[in-house]
Amino acid sequence: MQDKLTLMIPGPTPVPETVLKSLGQHPIGHRSTEFQAIVSKTSEQLQWLHQTKHDVLTITGSGTAAMEAGIINTLSKGDKVLCGSNGKFGERWVKVAKAYEIDVEVIKANWGEALDPEAFRRALEADKNKQIQAVIITHSETSTGVLNDLETISQYVHAHGKAIIIADCVTSLGACNVPMDKWGLDVIASGSQKGYMMPPGLSFVALSQRAWELQKKSNLPKFYLDLNPYKKTAEKNSNPFTPAVNLYFALESALEIMQAEGLEAIYARHARHSKAAQTGMQAMGMPVFSAKGCGSPAITAVAPKNIDAEQLRKAVKEKYDILLAGGQDHLKGKVFRIGHLGFVNDRDILTAIAAIEATLYSLDLLESKMGAGVEAASVVLNEKN
Amino acid sequence: MQDKLTLMIPGPTPVPETVLKSLGQHPIGHRSTEFQAIVSKTSEQLQWLHQTKHDVLTITGSGTAAMEAGIINTLSKGDKVLCGSNGKFGERWVKVAKAYEIDVEVIKANWGEALDPEAFRRALEADKNKQIQAVIITHSETSTGVLNDLETISQYVHAHGKAIIIADCVTSLGACNVPMDKWGLDVIASGSQKGYMMPPGLSFVALSQRAWELQKKSNLPKFYLDLNPYKKTAEKNSNPFTPAVNLYFALESALEIMQAEGLEAIYARHARHSKAAQTGMQAMGMPVFSAKGCGSPAITAVAPKNIDAEQLRKAVKEKYDILLAGGQDHLKGKVFRIGHLGFVNDRDILTAIAAIEATLYSLDLLESKMGAGVEAASVVLNEKN
Q: What is the pLDDT of residues B367-385, one digit of tens each?
A: 999 999 999 999 999 997 6
Q: Which contiguous run of DSSP H or E holds residue A161?
A: none
Which pLDDT value is given to residue A384?
A: 79
With contact defined as beta carbons under 8 Å apart, do B272 and B298 qualify?
A: no
Which pLDDT value is given to residue A109?
A: 98
User: Which residue on chain A is closest to B69 by alpha carbon?
Assistant: A224
Q: How far apart are CA B16 and CA B13, in angstroms?
A: 10
State the complex-level ipTM.
Answer: 0.97
| Domain ranges (residues) in chain B | 6-11+262-381, 17-260
Count Cβ–Cβ pairs < 8 Å, chain A vs chain B.
172
Q: How far apart are CA A213 and CA A227, in angstroms?
A: 13
Is the per-residue pLDDT at A385 higher than 70? no
Confidence label for B350 from pLDDT (cuts 50, 70 and 90): very high
Contact check, Cβ <8 Å, A68/B101: no
State whether residue B327 is helix, strand or coil: coil
pLDDT tens-digit series, residues A179-192: 999 999 999 999 99
Confidence label for A141 from pLDDT (cuts 50, 70 and 90): very high
pLDDT tens-digit series, residues A359-384: 999 999 999 999 999 999 999 999 97
Share of chain A above pLDDT 70, in %: 100
User: Which residue on chain A is closest to B327 by alpha carbon?
Assistant: A31
Is the per-residue pLDDT at B320 higher than 90? yes
CATH of B17-260, one of 1.20.1740.10, 3.30.1330.40, 3.40.640.10, 3.40.50.2300: 3.40.640.10
Is the per-residue pLDDT at B205 higher than 70? yes
Q: How far apart are CA A299 and CA A249, in angstroms?
A: 27
Cα–Cα nearest to A136, from A113, A164, A110, A108 = A164
Judged by a CB distance cut-off of 8 A, whether residue B166 touches chain A is no
Looking at the whole model, is its pTM more than 0.90? yes
Cα–Cα nearest to A39, from A59, A18, A19, A66 = A59
Which pLDDT value is given to residue A49?
A: 98
Distance from CA of A242 to the nearest CA of B (A): 6
Q: How far apart are CA A308 and CA A303, in angstroms?
A: 9
With contact defined as beta carbons under 8 Å apart, do B61 and B86 qualify?
A: no
Is the per-residue pLDDT at A161 higher than 70? yes
Neighbours of A232 (CB within 10 A): 11
pLDDT tens-digit series, residues B218-252: 999 999 999 999 999 999 999 999 999 999 999 99
Q: How far apart are CA A46 and CA A55, in angstroms?
A: 9
Average pLDDT over residues B180-204: 98
State whether residue B181 is helix, strand or coil: helix
CATH class of B6-11+262-381: alpha beta
Which pLDDT value is given to residue B332?
A: 94
Share of chain A above pLDDT 90, in %: 99
Distance from CA of A352 to the nearest CA of B (A): 17
| Cβ contacts of B30 on chain A, cutoff 8 Å | 12, 200
Pair type for strands B80-85 and B299-302: unpaired
Neighbours of B182 (CB within 10 A): 12
Query: Do B6-11+262-381 and B17-260 show the same overall fold?
Result: no
Q: Which of B23, B100, B200 sits opposite A24 (nearest CB)?
A: B23
Contact check, Cβ <8 Å, A244/B5: no
Per-window interface: B 67-96 vs A, CB < 8 A:
68, 95-96
Neighbours of B127 (CB within 10 A): 17
With contact defined as beta carbons under 8 Å apart, do B168 and B10 qualify?
A: no
Cα–Cα nearest to A201, from B145, B248, B244 = B244
Most B-contacting residue of A223, A247, A253, A341 (CB-CB within 10 A), to test interface: A223
pLDDT tens-digit series, residues A2-31: 999 999 999 999 999 999 999 999 999 999
End-to-end CA, chain B = 36
Q: How far apart are CA A102 and CA A128, in angstroms?
A: 20
Domain covering A263-381: architecture: Alpha-Beta Complex (3.90)
Contact check, Cβ <8 Å, A241/B68: no
Which pLDDT value is given to residue A271?
A: 98
pLDDT tens-digit series, residues A235-259: 999 999 999 999 999 999 999 999 9
